[in-house]
Each structure stands twice: as structure tokens, then as C-alpha cells.
């Protein structure tokens, strides 16, 4: 997995503080930023957090480039609907000998990993075989319809991989660009930093949180799973390790975004 923060709202904490200032004062737009030092901005953000007033945080957005994650993760992250996604297309990008994500529990078991790798190799071979068969059929059909060979080959390739992709597994890796505002990110962190989230999307959420802490630490000072700021809401489904989780995210914030690894 590789994650990069490639863009964000300039001075995100000051922008959010300006929005908050407008809500609670008679400031005019021409002097809205006056006096909003980094320290004053952090005070506004802390006050917003205390009040639970989240809407001003929607004015700061963050864009991530992500690769080396599975299509299984893609299905999960796109459930967070207040976001923008651009994903590598399996319709237009041929994936011969595709890369794939191996779950840690599989990687830790030699026999399971051997079987897993064999399955991935087999599906890659089947993908290539089906794509080749479909392409040949499309070329013949298109040329019979009067299309010249060069154009037929180009169109047949796209049509073939469009259908061959149905055999690709959830483990198949993908790449994406994701943009979320700070409010949506905090919602994402609440759900996906939790130990009950799947290991892969939890690792992604942790890395995204680490990156935004590096540029807007006050804006994400209370970010993480729900147990970081209060009691665990999972009831009987709780992981039972709230103290360890709080320590982990406290250390991440104190280290200014340096990743804190789980045991």
C-alpha cells in the first residue's frame, strides 16, 4: 500500500476558523481573516469540537493518491459517499499478470499462501485466455462488418477486457484518487480506524490520518475511532482494547503524524 497526500486546502485550519468566526460574530468578509493567527485558529477549532459543530470543517478538503490496495477495499471505501473518487478502470486498462493484495493471515501460513498464489496465477491465466478468445471473435465480427483491421483490433481489445474483467478477484490491486473534506474524513476515521474494521482499510485510514495530522493537527486533534474521545459504542461487539487504542492515537498525535504501528 502506498498513500500520498497530493493536495489540500491552503491553510486548512485558518479557513475552518474563518468559517466558524463568521458563524459566531458580526465580522465582515473583508476583515474575516484578521487576527486569525495559528494559535487563534486552533482556539476556534477546539471550541468547535467542544460544541460538536462540524459543518465549518467541510470547507477544508484533502486529496490522496492511493495504490496497492484491493478491489475489496474499493468496495468498502466508496460506501463513504461524501467524497470524490477516480479509480483505475478495468474496462480500459489490461491487467495481464495483475498485482494482488495478500491478507496477512494468508501470508503467515505457508500452505495457505502457496494455495492463494496458485489461485491468483490461475485467474491471471484465465483472464488472459478469455480476453484473447473474446478479442479474436470481436476482430472477426468487426472486420466482417466492414471495419478495417487496425481499427477492429483496437476496438476488439477494449471489448474483450471489458468482459474478461469479470473473472478478476477481490484481491486484484487497484489505484485511486480520493478527495474528502475534513468532516467526511473524521467520519471515515471514526468507522475505519476502529479495530473492528477490516485490516486493510484500517491500515489505509491510519495512514491517511497520519498524513493530515502533518498539515492540520488541530483540525484532526480528536480523530480516530469513537473510543478515542469517549466510550466504545460497539457494546457486546467491542474489541475490549479501548485503552490500547487511545494510547495508539495519542502517540500518533504527539509524534506529529509519525505512524504508530500496532503490535
Q: How many Å apart are CA 3 and CA 68, to the nearest integer? A: 9
Active-site option among 192, 195, 210, 253: 192
Nearest one of 228, 214, 200, 242 to 103, comparing CA atoms = 200
Closest to 161 in 3D by CA, of 60, 261, 91, 227: 91
The Cα–Cα gap between 168 and 166 comes to 6
DSSP string, 77-117: HTT--SSEEEE--TTTS--TT--BPPPHHHHTSHHHHHHHH
Distance CA 218, CA 237 (A): 31
Name the residue among 186, 257, 189 with its Cα closest to residue 217.
257
Catalytic, 94? Answer no
Query: In sequence order, what are the beta bridge partners of 5?
Result: 64
2-8 and 84-87 beta bridge pairing? unpaired
Number of C-beta neighbours around residue 117 at 10 A: 14
Q: Catalytic site residues?
A: 192
Amino acid at each position: 500500500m502506498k498513500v500520498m497526500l497530493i493536495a489540500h486546502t491552503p491553510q486548512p485550519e485558518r479557513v475552518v476558523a474563518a468559517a466558524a468566526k463568521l458563524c459566531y460574530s458580526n465580522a465582515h468578509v473583508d476583515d474575516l481573516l484578521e487576527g486569525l493567527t495559528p494559535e487563534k485558529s486552533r482556539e476556534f477549532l477546539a471550541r468547535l469540537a467542544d460544541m460538536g459543530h462540524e459543518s465549518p470543517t467541510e470547507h477544508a478538503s484533502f486529496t490522496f493518491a492511493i495504490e496497492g490496495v484491493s478491489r475489496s477495499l474499493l468496495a468498502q471505501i466508496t460506501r463513504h459517499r461524501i467524497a470524490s473518487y477516480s479509480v483505475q478502470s478495468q474496462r480500459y486498462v489490461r491487467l495481464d499478470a495483475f498485482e494482488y493484495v495478500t491478507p496477512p493471515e494468508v501470508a503467515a501460513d505457508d500452505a495457505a499462501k502457496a494455495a492463494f498464489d496458485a489461485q491468483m496465477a490461475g485467474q491471471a491465466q484465465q483472464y488472459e485466455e478469455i480476453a484473447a478468445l473474446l478479442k479474436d471473435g470481436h476482430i472477426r465480427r468487426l472486420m466482417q462488418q466492414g471495419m478495417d483491421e487496425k481499427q477492429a483490433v483496437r476496438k476488439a481489445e477494449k471489448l474483450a477486457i471489458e468482459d474478461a474483467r469479470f473473472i478478476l478477484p477481490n484481491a486484484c490491486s487497484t489505484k485511486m484518487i480520493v478527495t474528502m473534506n475534513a468532516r467526511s474524513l473524521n467520519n471515515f476515521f471514526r468507522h475505519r480506524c476502529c479495530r473492528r474494521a477490516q485490516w486493510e482499510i484500517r491500515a489505509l485510514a491510519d495512514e491517511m490520518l497520519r498524513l493530515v495530522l502533518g498539515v492540520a493537527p488541530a483540525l484532526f486533534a480528536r480523530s480516530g475511532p469513537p473510543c478515542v474521545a469517549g466510550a466504545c459504542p460497539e457494546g457486546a461487539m467491542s474489541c475490549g482494547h479501548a485503552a490500547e487504542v487511545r494510547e495508539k492515537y495519542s502517540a500518533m498525535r504527539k509524534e506529529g503524524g509519525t505512524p504508530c504501528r500496532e503490535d
